[in-house]
């Protein structure tokens, strides 16, 4: 794969997840959101792209691996490996956002308070997760919301 197809794939991945995020933020209780966002569509499609990028990036560059920062930096000298890493972020951030939305509904976190956490999860995944967990903890203590698992 040359540079342009990877750029198109990058743009596709980014555009593909945005409707799912819009549904989580704008229509959290709609039946279509349950089917589309909480169902297997996004993980299956993006998981397929991820596997394709992993296979396309084989063999890994000499010195690449996961056991040191240098090895990871070497791995990411291949644009296909970087694309696989980006898709990894897209899949897992959406998964975390979907989990937070389901959890918030289950324990009674108001959606208006959840929405900024979802936006943060879209943009800077772990920050959004931390914000949601802090919000959830504060509300379950202060307002007596259910925190049963």
Radius of gyration of the chain (CA): 18
Residues near 91 by Cβ (< 8 Å), separated by ≥ 6? 42, 43, 46, 47, 50
Tell me if 53 sits within 8 A of 84, measured CB to CB. Answer: yes
Q: At residue 20, does pLDDT exceed 60? A: yes
Q: At residue 140, does pLDDT exceed 90? A: no
Tell me if 8 sits within 8 A of 1, measured CB to CB. Answer: no
Tell me if 21 sits within 8 A of 125, measured CB to CB. Answer: no
Q: Estimate to the nearest angstrom the gap between the alpha carbon of 135 and the chain centroid.
A: 19
Q: At residue 2, does pLDDT exceed 70? A: no
Read off the DSSP letter of residue 58. P
The band of 142, judged by pLDDT with boundaries at 50, 70 and 90, is confident
What is the distance between the alpha carbons of residues 149 and 144, in angstroms, rounded to a whole number? Answer: 15
Across residues 6-17, what is the average pLDDT?
94
pLDDT digits (tens, 9 = 90+) for 57-110: 899 999 999 999 999 999 999 999 999 999 999 999 999 999 999 999 999 999
Q: Which residue has the tokens 């089917």?
A: 35
Tell me if 23 sits within 8 A of 33, measured CB to CB. Answer: yes
Q: At residue 147, does pLDDT exceed 70? A: no
Q: At residue 1, does pLDDT exceed 90? A: no
The band of 123, judged by pLDDT with boundaries at 50, 70 and 90, is very high
Tell me if 27 sits within 8 A of 14, measured CB to CB. Answer: no
Judge if the upstream peptide bond of residue 59 is cis by omega within 30 degrees of 0.
Answer: yes
pTM over 0.85: yes
């Amino acid at each position: 794969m040359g540079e342009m197809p990877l750029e198109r794939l990058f743009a596709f991945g980014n555009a593909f997840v945005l409707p799912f995020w819009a549904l989580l933020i704008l229509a959290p209780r709609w039946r279509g959101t349950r089917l589309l966002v909480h169902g297997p569509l996004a993980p299956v499609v993006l998981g397929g792209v991820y596997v394709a990028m992993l296979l396309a990036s084989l063999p890994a560059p000499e010195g690449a691996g996961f056991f040191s920062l240098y090895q990871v930096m070497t791995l990411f000298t291949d644009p296909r490996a970087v694309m696989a890493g980006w898709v990894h972020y897209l899949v897992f951030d959406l998964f975390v956002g979907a989990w937070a939305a389901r959890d918030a509904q289950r324990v009674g976190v108001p959606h208006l308070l959840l929405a900024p956490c979802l936006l943060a999860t879209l943009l800077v995944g772990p920050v959004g997760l931390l914000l949601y967990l802090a919000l959830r903890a504060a509300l379950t203590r202060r307002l007596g919301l259910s925190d049963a698992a």
